[in-house]
Amino acid sequence: MSDVSTLSPAFVVEDAAALSGTDLSRCILLVTAGSHQFSYVVLDPLNNLFICLKSYQYGSSPGKEMFPEMLARCIGGDELLHAAFGEIRLGLDEPVHTLVPRAYFQPGRRRDYLSFLFGERPELAVRHDLLTATDAVNVYGIDNRLLEQLKETFPGAKVIHTETAWLSSLLKEHGAETGKQLYLRILPQRLTLTLLEKDKLLYHQTFFFQHELDVVYHTLQVCREYGLDPAAAAVRIGGEVAADAKVCRELAACLPRMGWLDRPSGFHYGEPFSRYPAHHFYSQLALAVCG
């Protein structure tokens, strides 16, 4: 975890040769910003090549008063972020969101969908993304001041929610697989559970947790609700979590077929990406499918 006073990157992937030889004005900058991290990826669309990734992690919930200062430090000290990119996509990685069936979605009631689950939050800007790969709309909220800061920092950026990118990529990558597939996105004190059956989204929910066994409980509960045998269930994990982390050991004891998400296919990854496990950075890279 990075010291808040320095905010040096927790993860760095950089293909120096490709970076120095690439015209950044044709590249796409993929930014992920949330209460636990700030990350960015540089994609060269001409060669479909990811050439750089940096991730600054500053805890599970530093507080919205600290977030602007930390964001400013991340961006101010990183010269690459001040280049003139051809396109910028901004992924908002905040937990205040819900999926609404498209048939029942009313744009004028977006705030009501969130208020029902999270209470009245007048400080939030409420937005929505259409999930074109499934029959749902992702409604989400972000603090107005933080959104304005991000939009000022990255003017002209296409703004989406990270769960939109996560779901869009999973459906594209795994929609042809047979049987039910359960996916876990593990963040600091936050868990996202997604269940697919071919190209059909059966379940998607975000939980907060304090202990590793909370993750096991929520996962097994989804298995029970949807008739999955934990001993045979196909489960894949994504997130910047080590394979020998306690939460993964606890899950493996109950889910012997547990495996890892691979990087999104259809792209090229330079050698520096091999220094990290393939299940790392899936959500950041998934922004590339949301053109």
Q: Kindly report the pTM of this predicted structure.
A: 0.91
pLDDT for the residue 291: 73
Q: Which long-range contacts (CB under 8 A, 24 or more apart) does 149-158 make?
A: 149/68, 149/71, 150/33, 150/71, 150/90, 150/92, 151/90, 153/71, 153/75, 154/29, 154/31, 154/88, 154/90, 156/88, 157/31, 157/88, 157/89, 157/90, 158/87, 158/88, 158/89, 158/90, 158/290
Q: What is the pLDDT of residue 66?
A: 61
d(CA 70, CA 67): 5
From first to last of the 291 residues of the chain, give the pLDDT tens digit: 444 444 778 899 998 888 889 999 999 999 999 877 899 999 999 999 999 999 988 754 545 556 777 788 888 878 899 899 999 999 999 899 999 999 999 999 999 999 999 999 999 999 999 998 888 999 999 989 889 989 999 999 999 999 999 999 999 998 888 899 999 999 888 999 999 998 899 999 999 999 999 999 999 999 999 999 999 999 999 999 999 999 999 999 999 999 999 999 999 998 999 999 999 999 999 999 987
pLDDT (0 to 100) of residue 133: 83
User: Domains, the chain, ranges and CATH?
Assistant: 1-174+262-291 (3.30.420.250), 175-260 (3.30.420.260)
Q: Which residues of 111-122 are buried (b: 16+ CB within 10 A; e: fewer)?
A: bebbbeeeeeee
pLDDT at 64: 53
How far is the C-alpha of 2 from the C-alpha of 136, rounded, in Å?
36
